Amino acid sequence: MPRLNSYALTDFLQHHFEKNNHPDFIETDPISIPHAFQQKEDREIAGFITALIAWGQRPVILRNAQRFLDLMDRDPHSFILHHSPTDRKRFSGFVHRTFNGEDAIYLLKALQEVYRNHGGLEGLLQKHITTPSEFGHSISGFRNELLSFKAPARFSKHLADPLRNSSAKRLCMYFRWMVRKDKAGVDFGIWKNISPAVLHCPLDLHSGRVARHLGLLTRQQDDWKAVTELTTALRKFDKNDPAKYDFALYGAGIAQVL
């Protein structure tokens, strides 16, 4: 494919952003899980749980996220605040790929600590935000605090660390859900004290392939260095909201436009 000039590239990104950033996108995407709730804390908790297990086949992700919320009596914020160690035992049989009951029980324990004493998930990330170029450090700080409540050794693999050069795709996706907002209403924009300008574009097989075709990404590994390179390139098109082009790159990749 010939390399697009800057005007054609701008048009391509905007066209596929608008095409995919649409309410129809919600139904089959993991973001549909938190969309079932109306309260801020319910959405951010349901969204975080869903994002943590968002790998594998989408129908399985959606089914298991729903199962987790059913175990929380479909009242995630209240459950997190008020559940007892005995209540956590009902999650002992939960499994999604390598995420098991031990992981689920620790996650509930950690979230209870975060919402009782640390300002919730938004507060946990906000305290580590500095500049857009340091967002990898922000994610790593968020991650380390979630692991600080005597996490079992196995749980750390479920929270990617950009400082170890992980792409942190699921965390970047979750933060996009919570922070950015526009009239389409796909993303929630409920973390109003964090600017969309700091977000980094989630990177996976589909978005990476399209980004390389378009000349937005030269690095071949899908790691944090690639995330940084891609996001830096996307800021040339919208410095205040670079992660919005996740819709364009992922959507074009799934549709095999390139």
Structure tokens at 163: 């400082």
Residues 6+ apart with CB under 8 A from 51: 30, 170, 171, 173, 174, 177
pLDDT at 2: 52
In a domain, 1, yes or no: no
Whole-prediction pTM value? 0.96
Burial (CB < 10 A; 0-12, 13-18, 19+), residue 118, is middle
At 127, the amino acid letter reads K
Residues 6+ apart with CB under 8 A from 50: 30, 31, 33, 34, 61, 65
Mapping DSSP to helix (H, G, I), strand (E, B) and coil, where does residue 79 land?
helix
pLDDT at 255: 79
What are the distances in angstroms from CA 72 to CA 80, 85, 139, 256?
A: 8, 13, 26, 38
Per-residue pLDDT tens over the stretch 155-200: 999 999 999 999 999 999 999 999 999 999 999 999 999 999 999 9
In a domain, 181, yes or no: yes
d(CA 134, CA 26) in angstroms, rounded, equals 30
In a domain, 158, yes or no: yes
State how many domains the chain has.
1
Q: Residue 230 is part of which domain span?
A: 6-254
DSSP letter (8 states) at residue 224: H
In a domain, 186, yes or no: yes
pLDDT at 3: 65
Burial (CB < 10 A; 0-12, 13-18, 19+), residue 157, is exposed
In a domain, 116, yes or no: yes
In a domain, 73, yes or no: yes
Q: Quick one: pLDDT band at residue 30, thresholds 50, 70, 90?
A: very high
Q: Quick one: pLDDT band at residue 45, thresholds 50, 70, 90?
A: very high
Nearest C-alpha neighbor of 13 from the set 166, 227, 240, 235: 235
